[in-house]
Chain A
Amino acid sequence: AMTAHSFALPLVLFSAFWGLVGIAGPWFVPKGPNRGVIITMLVTTAVCCYLFWLIAILAQANPLFGPQLKNETIWYVRFLWE
């Protein structure tokens, strides 16, 4: 497609999202015997998922080489996707 992907926008969005889950979320957990466990789960999830996503996007931010495609693929992607 012709659209360019910005790098900043997803970064901000996802950081905000996982920040909400991991930092703001714990304040809203209702009091009860499981409060500690739930908070731990929220923070751990946020850290793990955010880190994983971050690695994926950073690895593609500055590619050192591009994809090698078969001529058939080039032919139909060229006309189908764009």
Chain B
Amino acid sequence: FLQQELRAAGRVPGPCPESPRAPVAREALRVQEQSEQLAQELREVTRNRASLRGRLRHLRQHLHVLREGERFTSLPAPLGSQLRPRVLSEREPILDPSVHQHLERKINFVAGVIHPWRVTAFERLLWRACRGYLVASFVEMPEPMEDLATGESITWVIFLISYWGEQIGQKIRKISDCFHCQVYPYPESEASRTDTITRLHGQIQELSVTLEETEKYLAEVLDKVAQALPTWRVQVQKMKAVYLVLNQCSFDVTKKCLIAEVWCPVQDLTQVQDALRQGSYQSGSSVECFVQRVPTLESPPTLIRTNKFTAGFQSIVDAYGVASYQEVNPAPYAIITFPFIFAIMFGDVGHGLLMFLFALWMVLYEDSPRLRQGTNEIWLTFFEGRYLILLMGAFSVYTGFIYNECFSKATAIFPSAWSVATMANHSSWSSAYLATHPSLTLDPNVTGVFRGPYPFGIDPIWSLATNHLNFLNSFKMKMSVVLGIVHMGFGVVLGVFNHVHFRQRHRLVLEFLPEMIFLLALFGYLVFLIFYKWIKFSAADSLVAPSILIHFIDMFLFTSNAENLPLYPGQVPVQTVLVVLALASVPVLLLGTPLYQWCRQRGLTATAVPVQPLARGEQEPLLEGQEAGNSVNATMEDVESGGHSPDAKHLDFAETFMHQAIHTIEYCLGCVSNTASYLRLWALSLAHAQLSEVLWTMVMRNGFVGLSYVGGVVLVPVFAAFAVLTVAILLVMEGLSAFLHALRLHWVEFQNKFYVGAGYKLCPFAFAPDTWE
């Protein structure tokens, strides 16, 4: 209630500057009392204010009525001249004689205010009811006043009715009551009218003064409330939170204390004990709280400690699935591979630089409250990922240099490797010859034309060439495949960490080895072919250069194509061996682990060794996952085996076999499809390059066409359009698109080689005031 009133008065309760301690139960009562008191005060004051205002309004209305009415009654006869001709024109002849006749009769007046919308109806009713024995005049009030019921300011209409006779008077009063008019007494003589007016003036003044005082008092009360309110809110919320947590505890046998079962990281155990001790001391209780480790069968939650830099990367990994307890965490590798994969699809120096600068600004000013307290969700998303964007921009600059693209233009940092002059001299390209041949090709077979590979990136001559894409496509496709296979191989290798950590060394031989053999024999060999062709085949045998793709397909089909020369002698037998090896590894992968586990179980039951719950005595829980491979180590005894004890469970052979079969199929088919999936690296980088080239040729270049001074002026809006489109299409849209695809590559193609991601996060109690409303 207090908060609403504050808001209504137009003050926003500011945020609580310091975080007050959670209050004890008695304090809560005090807070309650105080807040109730203030609320009551506030209510009273508002009520007083409302009534004062009402009275003020009545008085002012009365005043206006008297004033306006004076205009009519102080004027000499005929009353008809002021009135609406429509109403009275027919009545005039009737009235005039009757006025004179009944002159000695008293003329009575009814005066009041009426809502402007009801005027016509009122008039009509009066006229019909009183049959002309009255004179009514209506006039608008000079200033609008507030309507008590609706609060809007309307211009009221004052009416003055003069009539003869008592009955008519009663009728008029009844009618005006029906119409919700405010009727005021209208004194007969002028003198009494002026008296009333002066009296009213005096009353109005007094009332205004009182009203002012009331308003001031109200403001004071509101101030007090505004000061105290934020603190109270936070205190109440804290108490709510504390009670919520306490509710989750259970009573012990004696019903005298609460027991809570918590997950706690081993490292923090001493801290927890300290905090408990401090808490008991401060609350003045006689019994100390203590913590004790308890064995449990549940799987613990995962805790991965991050700082402000690594948090962004960990969150994109967690978005796919939180790491299972103690499995290898792909996030530290993703810190670099994710921006790198993004940059392959986004490679452009100019765009990368813009992105880098934007992120740099966010990082440098990350402590500024203006940036941190933004409410726009999209801005907050960008801000949370500022380090991510920083790295993405940095890598994009690097890949932009390699692709030799800066806002779609190539830079010649080193002189180009292709010599046009040599070719021209060799083929005698005179100016006349050039004029008749619109396009000519440089032949690397001619000595001197090609002078060695460009040392850093793609040669700048290619950006001038019309067959630019022929070369670039081949390059990018092979690059995507190579990088994809390396990435996937890395993923399989990461699985080794899992196997070693969880003491499943049999999986090293029975799963990792077949997987690696399959991957390397087929796709590793493909990478080898790519590199071999790059190194061994040059322009001299360009006419007969073998096609890797056809070789690869033939390898699987065990056929050969006569027109496709082998890359090296003995290629066919080597390929046959590799394919056989790869095919042989499939059944090992399929049956190895299940058979091993089955044998082990059979061996165990055969020797009738009772299955122990893994010497659980030392392995006491109340712990948490630590990230493998990071600097924090947990000693072996502290590790909770939490569910990873396959021997303790009854082995269901059918289930394991099915699981392994699915894994095998997924892996083998996945190798093929995922390799092809990495071709999106090529596709997106091509799209980005083409878009930026289009933007340049269609937009910016037109600004340079006009060579006059006018052209210079035209350049400004052209550049504006270029800049806006660059940011909107190339940075935002392409950036998001590349981000998404890089994410997909990580989540699916990379992580399905080793990641399980079936854990749940540790959610420690954290108090943030606004979340506990």
Contact = CB atoms under 8 A, between A and B. Distances in A.
A61 B535 contact: yes
Given A3-B451, A40-B335, A57-B453, A78 B478 contact: no
A56 B435 contact: no
Contacts of B434: 71, 74-75
A75 B534 CA distance: 31
Contact of B429 (A52, A64, A68, A74): A74
B192 to A, nearest CB: 93
Contacts of B368: none
Contacts of B486: 51
A74 to B, nearest CB: 6
A5 B419 contact: no
Given A56-B402, A81-B415, A35 B631 contact: yes
A48 B442 contact: no
Contact of A69 (B414, B420, B471, B475): B420
Contacts, number: 188
Nearest to A8: B452
Given A2-B419, A69-B465, A7 B453 contact: yes
A30 interface: no
Interface centre among B398, B443, B459, B471 (most CB of A within 10 A): B471
A77 interface: yes
Main DSSP-derived SS at the A contact region:
helix
B424 A63 contact: no
Interface stretch (B512-520, B536-544, B598-606): B536-544
A66 to B, nearest CB: 4
A58 B531 CA distance: 8
Nearest to B347: A52
Interface string A44-74: 1100110111011111111111111111011
Contacts of B333: 40, 44
B525 to A, nearest CB: 17
B453 A34 contact: no
B470 A56 contact: no
A45 B243 CA distance: 49
Interface centre among B414, B435, B539, B631 (most CB of A within 10 A): B631
Given A40-B332, A59-B534, A68-B465, A7 B419 contact: no
B336 A9 contact: no
B440 A69 contact: yes
Contacts of A3: 415, 451
Contacts of B72: none
Interface in B471-494: 471, 474-475, 478-479, 482-483, 486
A40 B535 CA distance: 31
Contacts of B537: 62, 64
Nearest to B540: A62
Contact of A53 (B337, B441, B456, B630): B456
A57 B451 contact: no
B470 to A, nearest CB: 7
A72 B473 CA distance: 25
Interface string B411-440: 000111111110110000101001101111
B542 A64 contact: yes
Contacts of B416: 1, 81
Contacts of B629: 36
A58 B534 contact: yes
B444 interface: yes
A34 B424 contact: no
B340 A48 contact: yes
A72 to B, nearest CB: 8
B609 to A, nearest CB: 40
Contact of B402 (A52, A65, A69, A77): A52
Given A64-B545, A69-B464, A74 B535 contact: no
Interface string B276-317: 000000000000000000000000000000010010000000
Interface string A1-44: 11111110110000000000000000000000111110011001
Contacts of B421: 78, 82
Contacts of B483: 51-52, 55
B534 A67 contact: no
Given A5-B454, A52-B402, A69-B464, A82 B419 contact: yes
6 contacts: A55-B478, A57-B454, A60-B459, A62-B535, A66-B442, A66-B444
Interface of B: 307, 310, 332-333, 335-337, 340, 344, 398-399, 402, 414-421, 423-424, 429, 431, 434-435, 437-444, 449-459, 461-462, 464-468, 470-471, 474-475, 478-479, 482-483, 486, 531, 534-539, 542, 545, 629-631
Given A52-B483, A55-B475, A67-B461, 16 more contacts: A5-B451, A6-B452, A10-B456, A44-B335, A52-B399, A55-B482, A58-B534, A62-B537, A63-B471, A63-B538, A65-B471, A66-B443, A67-B462, A68-B442, A70-B466, A71-B435
Interface of A: 1-7, 9-10, 33-37, 40-41, 44-45, 48-49, 51-53, 55-71, 73-75, 77-78, 81-82
The 7 A-B pairs of least Cβ separation, nearest first, read A67-B465, A5-B452, A1-B415, A66-B442, A62-B538, A44-B336, A10-B455
